[in-house]
């Protein structure tokens, strides 16, 4: 930030005035003695012509969702036991990419990503996220595993125009393949 301020030809006093704080406070931020809060940091960046995006990611264990764990356990119980299971599989080796696929099934024929969704609430965003994970990870198929609830059955019907092009196979078609230890012919959804 100091380098950016100097490149812009701004004084500590002018930056402080724009931020409504003291010159000494900005100097402490620049030398690292103090760290501004998120909002102050974004404002400081704006004064210097910078966009300071702030993103949040889950910290700690990614397996904190008990509902997803139950959903994956139920799924495991209704398919062939021959599949090799891996959970929370990173989509890439990029340390900046914190995305993971909830479970990946492996067999000699290929790999299937399972995205466990306890409640389908934003079909477009959830479909897009799953397809981006499929593309980044290189899994052969992606299956949306939805909790079999009245809400999800209604959401699947209502979002058919969004779901079907990307996930055309039905529960029956996907489970038929998975119970036979085969890759489904394409992506699909299952209610379990």
- pLDDT tens for the chain, 192 residues long, are 999 899 889 999 999 999 999 999 999 999 999 999 999 999 999 999 988 887 776 655 555 578 889 999 999 999 999 999 999 999 999 988 999 999 999 999 999 999 999 999 999 999 999 999 999 999 999 999 999 999 999 999 999 999 999 999 999 999 999 999 999 999 999 999
Question: Torsion angle, CA of 188/61/96/57, rounded to 10 degrees?
Answer: 90
Indicate the pairing of strand 84-90 with strand 188-191.
Answer: unpaired
CB 184 within 8 A of CB 178: yes
Cα 109 vs. chain centroid, distance in angstroms?
27
Give every strand in the sheet of 84-90, ordered side by side: 84-90, 100-107, 110-117, 141-146, 188-191
Residue with tokens 């092009």: 165
CA dist., res. 16 & res. 140, Å (int): 54
Delimit the domains of the chain by residue range: 2-47, 66-191
CB 101 within 8 A of CB 114: yes
């Amino acid at each position: 930030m100091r380098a950016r301020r100097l490149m812009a030809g701004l004084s500590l006093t002018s930056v402080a005035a724009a931020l409504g704080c003291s010159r000494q406070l900005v100097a402490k931020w620049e030398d690292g003695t103090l760290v501004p809060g998120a909002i102050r940091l974004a404002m400081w960046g704006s004064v210097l012509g910078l966009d300071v995006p702030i993103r949040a990611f889950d910290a700690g264990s990614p397996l904190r969702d008990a509902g997803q764990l139950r959903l994956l356990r139920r799924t495991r119980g209704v398919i062939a036991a021959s599949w090799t299971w891996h959970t929370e599989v990173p989509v890439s080796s990029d340390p900046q990419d914190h995305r993971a696929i909830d479970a990946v099934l492996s067999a000699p024929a290929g790999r299937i990503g399972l995205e466990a969704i306890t409640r389908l609430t934003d079909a477009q965003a959830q479909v897009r996220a799953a397809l981006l994970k499929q593309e980044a990870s290189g899994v052969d198929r992606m299956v949306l595993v939805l909790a079999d609830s009245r809400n999800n059955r209604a959401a699947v019907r209502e979002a058919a125009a969004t779901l079907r092009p990307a996930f055309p196979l039905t529960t029956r078609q996907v489970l038929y393949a998975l119970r036979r230890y085969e890759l489904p012919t394409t992506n699909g959804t299952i209610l379990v």
